[in-house]
Amino acid sequence: MSIQLRILGASGGTTTHGGWKPLPFAWLKGSSGRAMGMVVAGGSGHRLETTSFLVNETILLDAGTGVGILSLNELQQIRHILITHSHLDHVASIAFMADSLFETTTTPILVHTSEETIAALKTHLFNNILWPDFTTLVNPLGIKVIEFVPFSSDAPITIDGLSIEMIPVSHTVPAVGYRIESGTHSFAYTGDTMTNDTFWEAINRHQKLDMLITECAFPVEMKEIAALSKHYDPDTLAADLNKLEIKTKVFLTHFKPGKEETILNDLRERVRDIRINPLMQDDTYQLK
């Protein structure tokens, strides 16, 4: 089974691209050298949006402002949302999706995340103060538009034929990464984190990984802020990439706007044996 991964948003903030331009295109190859798919530079080059990835058209991996590039019809195809943590740049669009789809939805969208993140979203977002509590409201068809589904790192779950593994990471709030596998292909995503062992130990337990998406929010010159906010900088990420025991393609996300090229150059100077590429909004990756 193939995996299609569309990048809806991959920035640490919302702004115009300015001088930051996507790469043209590249081929992803498996360990055999056979092409798995093509990365095509996207056409929405006017804005940077925050983290959200669309998997096989029905699963959102985080729900930052990047979800806003989807049409209403595309939103209606989404049945599941996997959330890494409760920060607004990763969850804001859950609120807007619930509002947009409320009247027409016939089955709830299932939001899978940790108990701690569910509690944070109920307390601080869906609280009838900041936003209506769409987890309790019923539409004219008698359906709730969203439901929270607790998920733990104890065992993987299966969603639409994909095995989903939750991996605890280290951030300022309870946070996780994910490894997603189709049986023949897989990718992993750190979510927001600083240096840790749990993520790298988890992905090293598997024999292969087609694609690794990792955050790197700040350049080396801002490493003190990175440490305080529990994000990677090129020094800490380079050290953690040394823990990786399997060969894979590495893609960066969650750049501080305006620091993209500095972060990339800093990391490439420190990691010369791994090809490092940035994720760009509306790129699509086919793992097949």
Confidence grade of residue 18 (pLDDT, cut at 50, 70, 90): low
Q: Which residue has the higher pLDDT, 41 or 65?
A: 65
Helix segments in the chain, DSSP class H? 72-77, 88-101, 115-124, 198-204, 223-229, 234-241, 260-270
* 177-188 tens-digit pLDDT: 999 999 999 999
Question: What pLDDT does 21 receive?
Answer: 55
* Contact criterion met (CB below 8 Å) for 14 and 48: yes
Q: Which of 17-31, 80-94, 117-131, 274-288 has the lowest mean pLDDT?
A: 17-31
Give the model confidence (pLDDT) of 93-140 as tens digits: 999 999 999 999 999 999 999 999 999 999 999 999 999 999 999 999
Q: For residue 168, is pLDDT > 50?
A: yes
pTM over the 0.75 mark: yes
In this structure, of 16-20, 29-33, 225-229, the range with the lowest mean pLDDT score is 29-33
pLDDT for residue 33 is more than 70: no
What is the extent of the structural domain holding 251? Answer: 3-287
Where would I find the beta strands (DSSP E) of the chain? 3-9, 15-16, 25-29, 35-40, 47-48, 52-55, 59-61, 80-82, 109-113, 146-150, 157-159, 162-168, 176-181, 186-189, 211-215, 249-253, 276-278, 284-287
Place of tokens 């569309």: 6
| Residue 274: both structure tokens together | 């791994």
Instruction: Output Rg (C-alpha) for the chain, integer angstroms.
Output: 18
Is the pLDDT assigned to residue 31 strictly greater than 50?
Answer: no
Predicted confidence band of residue 17 (pLDDT cuts 50, 70, 90): low
Q: How confident is the model at residue 1 (pLDDT cuts 50, 70, 90)?
A: confident
141: number of Cβ within 10 Å: 10
Give residue 66's pLDDT band: very low, low, confident or very high (50, 70, 90): very high
CATH number at residue 98: 3.60.15.10
DSSP bridge partners of 211:
187, 249
42 pLDDT above the threshold of 50: no
Mean per-residue pLDDT of the chain: 90
Residue 41 has pLDDT above 70, yes or no: no
Return the pLDDT at 14: 77
Confidence of residue 35 (pLDDT cuts 50, 70, 90): very low
Residue 43: pLDDT above 70? no
- What is the count of structural domains for the chain? 1
